[in-house]
Amino acid sequence: MSDPGSLSNAEPGLTHIDASGAARMVDVGNKAASKRIAVAAGTFLTTTEAIAALSDGQLAKGDALATARIAAIMGAKRTPDLIPLCHQVALSSVSVDFDIAATSIGVRATAVTTDRTGVEMEALTAVAIAGLTLHDMVKALDPLATMTEVRLVEKIGGKRGHWTRD
């Protein structure tokens, strides 16, 4: 097993690890606030029957998309409570969109802030929480439903500027 200190020396991009290999919260106090946007996406896989019930408003638990949207926004707002070492940021907005297909629902979340650090984790958390909520809403019809491919799609602002997934 390698020395924890060598990890931070070998991987200088690991900002949440100090020189000794210990976890740390990054100090963003000297950074200027700037507008930052992050977009994340994921795919919720289920059955045609569950999609039909969801689309027709026939789920016993109610409106799955409205519930998943609210849960996603709430999740983005609570990200620092869920992800260790994640900074609390002042979210300007969080939007969540769904793309319904025959056996899947595409989930896309956009988080926006003007702050000293980015909102990638907030966008990713929103997508994951939307997927968990959709699963809860359809599990009686499809206990095998799965949230897949949760990923960062795009980020704007900060040191690296504009980045998109190829």
List, for residues 140-166, the tens digit of each pLDDT value.
999 999 999 999 999 999 888 899 998
CB 16 within 8 A of CB 24: yes
Contacts 24+ apart (CB under 8 A), 142-148: 142/46, 142/47, 142/49, 142/50, 145/44, 145/45, 145/46, 145/47, 145/50, 146/44, 146/45, 146/46, 147/42, 147/43, 147/44, 147/45, 147/107, 148/42, 148/43, 148/44, 148/45
* pLDDT tens per residue across span 45-99: 999 999 999 999 999 999 999 999 999 999 999 999 999 888 899 999 999 999 9
Taking the C-alpha atoms of residue 33 and residue 153, their distance in angstroms, rounded to an integer, is: 22
Asked if residue 7 has pLDDT above 50, the reply is no
In this prediction, residue 2 has a pLDDT band, given cuts at 50, 70 and 90, of very low
Q: What pTM did the predictor assign?
A: 0.85
pLDDT higher than threshold 80 for residue 11:
no
Instruction: Give all domains of the chain, ordered by start, each with its CATH number.
Output: 1-30 (no CATH), 31-164 (3.30.70.640)
> Which distant-in-sequence residues (6+ apart) come within 8 Å of 53 by Cβ?
59, 138, 141
Active site residues: 136
